[in-house]
Structure 1
Amino acid sequence: MPLLSPFDVEPMIDGRQSPAAMKVRRGVGRLMREMGLAVVPELILSCGRRADLVGIDGRGELMIVEIKSCLADYRADSKWHHYRSACDRLYFASLPEVGDIFPPEEGLIITDGYMAEIVREAPLQRLSATVRRSMTLRIAQTAARRLHELEDPSPRLSVPV
């Protein structure tokens, strides 16, 4: 069951993600948790783009992971350039059979869907305090809304006045 929110434009799983992309998401999400990050999938950024995975660590450092399940997926999508301004580190993540087709200036994570490994560390490019605060609030609000929807998935009923 996908998590939906009346506050989010699109659900976390909306049918556009291929089985291969979901496999990458699972493996990379596990790695991010092991690294001490809290992970929010399908986060809508202030620019209106949707990041595949966003993680925040205990120091407030932000990581965005752009999932690419195949060469065609990478070639067809150039929106990832917008993500650089919303994170401290930007990674691509894919399956071993895709290979390293990604820009060498960005990080790379390879996964089999269960375990994942950072193959190339992403350079640290610190965000401004204003952007960091905005992203931290966006992550917190999205995560809290999704969690609340699990507890109470019914829409708010109108109360007679």
Structure 2
Amino acid sequence: MAELGPIVDGRQSATALRVQRGVMRLLRETHDMSCYAEVTLKSGRRADVLGVGPNGEIWIVEIKSSLVDFQVDRKWHEYRDFSDKFFFAKPPELDPDIFPTTEGLIVADGHDGAMLRDSPLTPLAPARRKALMLKLARLGADRLHVLMDPGPK
């Protein structure tokens, strides 16, 4: 069975959860992406939001809710290995100048979001895309199953 992992497990701040909601709305409504929250990758890193586009493109969004949250994260570069496009997302009150200009940037709150800067395209290798798509298909089905039947584990 694919790893379910918690969608919300207490590690996310209230601000991060609001940003996550706005990011997912933006990706779904503006970019026709189907979104997953909290996806554990093969590297062990956990993507805050992973979107899959209609042509199979994969975007990862890393949410940073504060300056300290950004400063202590030195592993965000690893997301590039699992996505065609990589973005940071921030709440409206966080200074956009703290983020590298080489990466995409989204501003979001609990209602919606806006893309401040697009991400450069770095296409995934076909074998990695296939493995990730299989993982996402299983993860999505397992999450739906748990909602339908939260019975014994």
Alpha-carbon separation, structure 2, partners of 1:134 and 1:53:
18
Alpha-carbon separation, structure 2, partners of 1:106 and 1:145:
32
Count of residues in Structure 1 that have an aligned counterpart in Structure 2 = 151
Deviations 1:24-61 (A, max 9, x none): 00000100111111100000101111110000011000
Q: In terms of Rg, which structure is larger? A: 1
Instruction: Tell me by how many angstroms 1:8 deviates.
Output: 2.5
CA RMSD in angstroms, aligned pairs only: 1.3
**Residue 83 in 1 paired to residue 84 in 2?**
no
Match of 1:126 in 2: 123
Residues 50 and 59, structure 2, Cα contact 8 Å, conserved in 1: yes
Structure 2 counterpart of 1:45, which letter?
L
**Residue 28 in 1 paired to residue 55 in 2?**
no
The TM-score with structure 2 as length reference comes to 0.94
Unpaired segments ≥5 residues, structure 1: 1-5, 157-161
Alpha-carbon separation, structure 2, partners of 1:28 and 1:83:
17
Match of 2:105 in 1: 108
The percent of aligned pairs where both chains have the same amino acid is 45
Alpha-carbon separation, structure 2, partners of 1:146 and 1:9:
6
Residue number among 89, 93, 109 corresponding to 1:97 in the alignment:
93
Runs of at least 4 residues of structure 1 off by over 3 A? none
Alpha-carbon separation, structure 1, partners of 2:5 and 2:32:
27
Residue number among 30, 55, 74 corresponding to 1:59 in the alignment:
55
